[in-house]
Structure 1
Amino acid sequence: MVKYAGAFALGIFVAGKVGAGLVWCLILTWILTLAVMAGRSRRRGRDSSQWLSVALLLLWCLAGIIRLTSVNENQPFSVREYIGRKVTVQGNIRGVPQILNGSAGERRVRYELELKHRLASAEGLPQPLRGGLRITAAQAESQPVGAAGDSMVATGTIRRFNVYHNPGQPDAETALAVRGLDARMTALPGTLRITRHDGMATFADYLFRWRTQVRTALLQAMPNTDASLVMGMLFGGYDGIDRQTVRDFAATGIVHILSVSGSHIALVAGAIFWLTRRVGLHDTGSAMVAGLAMIAYGLISGFSAPVVRSVVMGAIAMAAIGLGQRDVAARALTLAVIGMLVYEPRYLFDISFQLSVACTGGLLFFAPFLQECLEPFKRCKATRFAVTGIGATVAAELAVLPLQAWYFGVLPTYSLLANVIVVPLLETVILAGLAGIVLAGGMTGVSQVIFVGISLLTGMAVELNRFLSRLPLAVVSLPAFGLWGCAGYYFVITWLCGIWKIADWSPSDVRRKMKKNPVKSAGLTLFAAACVALAWQQPGPLQVHFIDVGQGDATLVITPHGRSVLIDTGGTPGPQTEFDVGERVVVPYLRHYGVSTVDCLILTHNHQDHAGGAAAVANMLGVRQALLHVPESDESPAILRLRRAMRNRGMRDAADVEKFKVDGVCFQLYQAGNAVSMASGRSVKKQSESENGQSTVVRIEFGRYSFLVTGDLEGESETRIGKMPMGMSTVLKVGHHGGRKSTQREFLTKVCPQYAVISVGVDNRYGHPAPETLNRLREWPVGLFRTDRDGAVVFHSNGQDLTVSRTIP
């Protein structure tokens, strides 16, 4: 059954990444070919079962393709048809609204709306409209916030979600679609109208009120920080949790404890099963009570994908225990995965689904082998308990290692210690917290004592975890494995665990042969190590990455020997928000490609959308040298944060650096705020018309190819740069996100690019890139790439050849 689940998942993956049309034809052709071969084998009296088995696997793969295609088809009257248009919509609020920071006297509220109609006074009758819409509205503090079930009318422009399409970035767009959200809107001032729902309260209403009461009870016994953390562990979510605490949990590899998942469900089920067995219930009764407890916990925590999957798998396991068939865990996992993917095939692209399935698979398939290896250390009850926990943790870590590398780019070195020391404390907090909530209805005093105790335990766990996260080498860089690397890794690890073997080449057979011929084995080992070391020392191609940071700029240059130069760091334009692009987008991208420290950071100018992420990069990775040309009197908050992060060390004025080389890659810096004296040919200081015009321009040259990164260069500044002694460039990063005044014809004639890249946000409010700029680029012409449509754009060059790839096919 596992292989059929794998084939079904493969069909979904291929349809999602490649497209269904061509794949359908190929698979149908393969099935027909295999059927013909099976028929011939049968006529000749041979066994045809192998051909039929392969054909069945291909049919499962085809079923996965069909299922995903049916989900992705646009429904009639979909809100997606109105993207880019200003409309008035009506629908019902679902879920609990999220209150965001706002200006004085008002607050920003984010609603999720289940659409019903599109209202248009000119057309008379309302038109049907389907789908989910996220609406952000500014409301006065005196205006009540809507609740689940309330009717809402709002006017605004329907826009796509501004998500980041980079390798290793979780697929946020698919995650939103799974939640039923198809688009977003910012309600225009004065257009928001909410009508209270006077009917029977929904389950969501009761759940919201009950959670509010639970939080109130917790706040009576503990500080707000502890209450937020306990609420996160009990019901999921990061609301109110200190951001540094979340970073510390991530650094030790236990951040999953803040989201209700399989570990929480298993913990509750195991505790209930053990308790009921202690009071005298037999296996059937205990399994039934534990199953009901899992369903109840799933209801109060919200049936997210990991919770549903865990409850389904747990229910199957408990049913098996009740029926006296305990050894069905692998089958339960497989049935749960197939059921989830049939219901919602896009779960396959969800990071929590992938991590949870991999972790559970590791516990089922890798843990028995590791427990057998650790058997000599189980000398008493205490060591048996510790060794069992260590084996389970290592098995889970081995299973998720490729996913850890792909999404996070780091390996938490002290994850094992955190799972052995910190996690048991937090699991005690979860169980005691649930017990306190149950007792709060009739034994308030007892529940308050429990809440005080879990507050102390929570504080102790947070401090222990903080200590582990501050130890040297707490986080080690772990570059992404790649597709073939992942396949090779799982091939070797499953072979080592004895899940499969080739003829007489099982791990025990290999060990026996190595002991028999130790000299030959040592020689082969040394030869293999030398080959790996030699391959590691070989230079790779130059890589120039134009990272998708939304409405901002960030360019990563990785030299042939792996040194890194980062030009701009992105950042949310306008006022600083809680979302740090440096921490959430740029740093994960750099880690994905194995960048552990930035050798040189160049900031073209001090605007938030170019320098906003610099402080996070310096704090989380470290920067050896930063180059920027900004007078101290004009330094923006982003630059001030960078200075604090670097403690004013390693920062130089970019105007003092004209050229430098790294691994044979030449970087030339030009100051757009400097004019050129035609008489002497030397630079002369001249005040630019704007901060955009003072951008530092960086030209990167390697072999036959060169790249020109222009910051927010436009207009008069382009003319001044064009007068400087600068050659043509193969690739042009278009200035100011493709603004109207950027990339004039004279500048294009000077640069003469073959490719142009525009770093720009989806449906941004500035109208970038401007139609005039796009027309000039088409007339040139150039190969045009845009991060809002292509995602991250990556150029590779060995100095003689140039290739380009993009994240969105």
Structure 2
Amino acid sequence: MEELNNIVIFACAAFAAGIWLAGVYSWHIPLLTIIALLLLIIALWRANTNCRHSFWPVIGLFFVAGMIYYSQDTTVRAGDISHYAGQTVSIEGVVDTVPEITGVDEYTKQVRYVVQVEKVKPEQEGIAVRASGKVRLSAQYKDKKIKPAAYGERIVVYGKVLELHGYNNPGQIDMTVALKRQNIMARMSAQGQAIKVISVSNTYSWRVALAGWQDGIVKALQKVMPVNDAAILTAVLFGGYEGINKNVIDDFATTGLIHILSVSGAHIALVAGLIRWFGSRLRLGSLATISIAALTIILYAVMSGLTPPVIRSAIMGLISLMAVILGRENYAPAALAITALGMLVYQPLLLYDISFQLSFGATAGLVFLYQRTVDYLARFPAWIAGPLAVTLSAQLGVLPLIAWYFNNFPVISFAANIIILPVVELVIILGLAGVIIYTIVPAVGNIIFVISSLLIGLVMMLTALLASVPYSSMYIPSVGITGSAAYYFVLAWVYGWRPLHMPGPGQLVEKWPRACSFTVFLFIGIFLAITWYPRPLTVHFIDVGQGDATLVITPRGKGVLVDTGGSFGSSNFDIGERVVAPYLKHYGVTAVDYLILTHGHQDHAGGAAGVAGDIRINKVMLAREEHSPAVQALLRTKPAIAVIPAYTGQSFQLDGVVFRLEQAVGDSETSRRGANGNEVSSVIRVSYGQHSFLITGDLEAQGEAMLLAKGVPPCTVLKVGHHGAKTSTTVPFLQTISPKFAVISVGYGNRFGHPHSDTIKRLAEMNTLVYRTDKQGAIVFKSDGKNIEVNTYIK
């Protein structure tokens, strides 16, 4: 049994490692195929003498197979719609999912479609050609008379095809890969009148019926309970955070219960456990009970919409039930590995899915660590040791992932799982029972919904109470691939993995107590030395789309943030909270010494409030202008923040790095010349040793002329003004500052046409190396004061 577990686990790990390596380096499939054939021949030859001798060739075969699978899966087919990116076309296809409809205002609604493309007709050509892939189509309907297309209908839409593009920063969840896993290869935007339905689907669709049923349940919940309670119960039953108060989501995240707000393995396990309990009480027999539990899991997965995370959780639940039927609970590690391997064979890109990583990491923690953790906690009462072991095992299994994606460990989760989780589980059970009963007897279902609402109120109260406890969550730094490998090696060693007869931690301390003590102090000394020893200055130009955000980290780790990006229009996506703050945490910046806003425009200051809500800010330097809505939101978020008006010539120094305002909004000179808008954007110079960075905000030609009149010295790196607009970065300005590098912070496919070709041409004529966030993602400069180097997220 143990040998079978080892074979399957190693095979799964090798396949996953092959996928990862193929994602890092490009490989030729013919070469990989030859290597796979050689490994197969070696495995068969060695198996002929002794099956055990073929172990490593077989594992190597799985490794190469993972590389081949990834390489083939990411190869874009010749007729794929993504090949038309940047072109204006007419596409013909079928609406592939139930459209998502949201109200923008009283008259306008936003509709999101996923369209399976069948034909494409480029604007310059008169013939439509066959095409493949799916398009994510966003459309606005301002005319109530125009009815959105429905699932299954064939439509024609005219518009510009755009590549999928997210925020390309380290630690960021890659939404582009997430869409490509669904075969969505491009995106489009259109007005409702540009979409024409050419054939109506009259066939029955279970997806449409399910969406209608879910909508009816949601409306029933909203009639008998507060809106926020209804949103929470909807999330628990069907997944998604829509309609839930942001503070409630933050409290759930702080207490480590955020996974409860989406259908996951915990929900499936709860349902299966409840059915098995009822079966034992009613003496239905093992086979009958497990069969009912399996059927219930399938129905629950269908009811929740069969989203990929739900499918994964359901498959894991069904395999666990199968192990129980066969009396092979000890094969749980192999069952988990087979499930993961099967899913990766079906979709190699799942390896990069955060939900896949967290669900399998947590489950692996439970499978491999739970029993030993219970033994370690034997001194505690059973009612505490059990839930505590579950939480600790799952958290240990995913700690490097939590560090990479969130940089936050919910310490209070141990208490939350003992105090709150039982109430949440009761809410899930009552909610599911209420949904089933409401479908048959609405009046009784409504009573159950009201009881669920009261329990949800209790859960929110307890969650808010625990979240407010000091140090309820703890910052943890990202450790990367090498650190993660070291972590899992040590974890396995502590929990009993002893390769090559390696002694355990207890044996080491018992045999060599002085050497162990010396080693511990040596590691502490090395850690303190690394922390104390000054590092290079790093200047990060963060990818925030069509906006600016620059992070400066001094040699001793102090942070200065210049601008914060910001979303346009009616989008409720908070760049500061969702992009900039996670980026800061990823690089160990838990407090910002200075936040400098070049001016109050949305694309420079819109994320400030979101950053301030998550990161401590000591001082803010603001332009002397009327406060924009973005700046007002910042001051409301942190009213006690020290606000410093910006003046030309102001400077401060941190760890030998000099920050100086070369030009500030509100100067008498700018007022006298009548400059306004972007012309009066503040300009900041960051100097360290022989190199300097000139950050110009949205400065245009007139502002550059004013700067030249004052006398501006050369710089090493120029943050190009106004995202590379034609009216910025003039020839006299470039000739004076003579930058070696230029960075353009700009959004992919933006409607402004930035950066302008004239600006790129002027930079090229100056032999300036140009980097762009829309093409290379986050751009990081490192300097020790003498040398300078640059790294980009996208190579």
- TM-score > 0.5 by shorter chain: yes
Alignment of 1:150-549 (within 5 A): 150-188=153-191, 190-194=193-197, 197-377=200-380, 383-514=381-512, 517=513, 519=514, 521-549=516-544
Q: Residue in 2 aligned with 1:643?
A: 635
Count of residues in correspondence between the two structures: 787
Find the residue that maps to 2:97 and give its secondary structure.
Answer: strand
1:31 deviates by 8.9
Alignment counterpart, residue 9 of structure 1, candidates 13, 16, 23: 16
Does residue 74 of structure 1 match 2:76?
Answer: yes
- Residues 169-217 of structure 1 show CA distances to partners (whole Å, capped at 9, x for unaligned) of 0111000111232111111463222367341220111101111222233
Distance of 1:48 and 1:313 partners within structure 2: 30
Judged with a 3 Å threshold, the aligned counterparts in structure 2 of structure 1 residues 479 and 522 are, in CA distance, closer, same or farther, namely closer
Indicate conservation of the 8 Å contact 1:409/1:593, yes or no. Answer: no
Judged with a 3 Å threshold, the aligned counterparts in structure 2 of structure 1 residues 269 and 639 are, in CA distance, closer, same or farther, namely same
Find the residue that maps to 2:618 and give its secondary structure.
Answer: coil
Q: Residue in 2 aligned with 1:611?
A: 605
Alignment counterpart, residue 800 of structure 1, candidates 783, 786, 794: 786
Does residue 668 of structure 1 match 2:660?
Answer: yes
Find the residue that maps to 2:14 and give its secondary structure.
Answer: helix
1:34 deviates by 12
Ranges in structure 2 where 5+ consecutive residues have no aligned partner: 1-7
Amino acid at match of 1:583: E
Amino acid at match of 1:726: V
Alignment counterpart, residue 99 of structure 1, candidates 101, 114, 118: 101
Distance of 1:241 and 1:787 partners within structure 2: 33
Distance of 1:136 and 1:520 partners within structure 2: 64
Q: TM-score, normalised by structure 2?
A: 0.94
Distance of 1:210 and 1:48 partners within structure 2: 54
Amino acid at match of 2:428: I
Distance of 2:285 and 2:731 partners within structure 1: 83
Q: Residue in 2 aligned with 1:20?
A: 27
Distance of 1:615 and 1:269 partners within structure 2: 44
- Residues 453-504 of structure 1 show CA distances to partners (whole Å, capped at 9, x for unaligned) of 1111111101211122222223322221122211111111111011334424
Indicate conservation of the 8 Å contact 1:674/1:720, yes or no. Answer: no
Amino acid at match of 1:644: R
Judged with a 3 Å threshold, the aligned counterparts in structure 2 of structure 1 residues 672 and 386 are, in CA distance, closer, same or farther, namely closer
Judged with a 3 Å threshold, the aligned counterparts in structure 2 of structure 1 residues 106 and 576 are, in CA distance, closer, same or farther, namely closer
Distance of 1:328 and 1:200 partners within structure 2: 44
1:276 deviates by 1.6
Find the residue that maps to 1:95 and give its secondary structure.
Answer: coil
1:739 deviates by 0.9
Distance of 1:34 and 1:661 partners within structure 2: 63
Indicate conservation of the 8 Å contact 2:776/2:793, yes or no. Answer: yes
Alignment counterpart, residue 546 of structure 2, candidates 523, 546, 551: 551
Judged with a 3 Å threshold, the aligned counterparts in structure 2 of structure 1 residues 33 and 689 are, in CA distance, closer, same or farther, namely same
Amino acid at match of 2:87: R
Judged with a 3 Å threshold, the aligned counterparts in structure 2 of structure 1 residues 508 and 661 are, in CA distance, closer, same or farther, namely same
1:672 deviates by 5.9
Q: TM-score, normalised by structure 1?
A: 0.92
1:724 deviates by 3.1
Higher mean alpha-carbon deviation, 610-619 vs 297-306, is at 297-306
Amino acid at match of 1:525: V
Distance of 1:186 and 1:808 partners within structure 2: 26
Alignment counterpart, residue 708 of structure 1, candidates 677, 689, 694: 694
Indicate conservation of the 8 Å contact 1:92/1:114, yes or no. Answer: yes
Judged with a 3 Å threshold, the aligned counterparts in structure 2 of structure 1 residues 555 and 606 are, in CA distance, closer, same or farther, namely same
1:442 deviates by 3.1
Amino acid at match of 2:401: L
Find the residue that maps to 2:539 and give its secondary structure.
Answer: strand
Q: Residue in 1 aligned with 2:5?
A: none
Indicate conservation of the 8 Å contact 1:439/1:447, yes or no. Answer: yes
State the identity as a percent: 38
Amino acid at match of 1:175: A
Distance of 1:410 and 1:688 partners within structure 2: 48
Distance of 1:34 and 1:77 partners within structure 2: 34
Judged with a 3 Å threshold, the aligned counterparts in structure 2 of structure 1 residues 35 and 438 are, in CA distance, closer, same or farther, namely closer
Amino acid at match of 1:391: A
Q: Residue in 2 aligned with 1:583?
A: 577
Does residue 745 of structure 1 match 2:731?
Answer: yes
Alignment counterpart, residue 758 of structure 2, candidates 772, 786, 798: 772
1:144 deviates by 3.0
Amino acid at match of 1:375: A
1:362 deviates by 0.6
Higher mean alpha-carbon deviation, 601-610 vs 105-114, is at 105-114
Q: Residue in 2 aligned with 1:754?
A: 740
1:570 deviates by 0.4
Higher mean alpha-carbon deviation, 485-494 vs 306-315, is at 306-315
Find the residue that maps to 1:699 and give its secondary structure.
Answer: strand
State the Cα RMSD in Å: 2.6
Amino acid at match of 2:17: L
Distance of 2:579 and 2:216 partners within structure 1: 36
Amino acid at match of 1:406: W
1:120 deviates by 6.7
1:265 deviates by 1.3
1:36 deviates by 9.0
Find the residue that maps to 1:479 and give its secondary structure.
Answer: coil
Judged with a 3 Å threshold, the aligned counterparts in structure 2 of structure 1 residues 520 and 348 are, in CA distance, closer, same or farther, namely closer
Indicate conservation of the 8 Å contact 1:673/1:695, yes or no. Answer: yes
1:309 deviates by 1.9
Amino acid at match of 2:644: R
1:787 deviates by 0.8
Judged with a 3 Å threshold, the aligned counterparts in structure 2 of structure 1 residues 467 and 80 are, in CA distance, closer, same or farther, namely same
1:444 deviates by 3.3
- Residues 64-115 of structure 1 show CA distances to partners (whole Å, capped at 9, x for unaligned) of 1111121212223211121111112222223232223424422222222122
1:522 deviates by 3.6
Find the residue that maps to 1:623 and give its secondary structure.
Answer: strand
Distance of 1:115 and 1:784 partners within structure 2: 36
Indicate conservation of the 8 Å contact 1:674/1:687, yes or no. Answer: no
Find the residue that maps to 1:416 and give its secondary structure.
Answer: helix
Find the residue that maps to 2:162 and give its secondary structure.
Answer: coil
1:49 deviates by 6.5
Distance of 1:768 and 1:690 partners within structure 2: 21
Indicate conservation of the 8 Å contact 2:744/2:771, yes or no. Answer: yes
Ranges in structure 1 where 5+ consecutive residues have no aligned partner: 378-382, 677-682
> 4+ runs of 1 displaced by more than 4 Å?
23-39, 47-50, 119-125, 672-676
Distance of 2:653 and 2:122 partners within structure 1: 61
Judged with a 3 Å threshold, the aligned counterparts in structure 2 of structure 1 residues 106 and 535 are, in CA distance, closer, same or farther, namely closer
Amino acid at match of 1:647: P
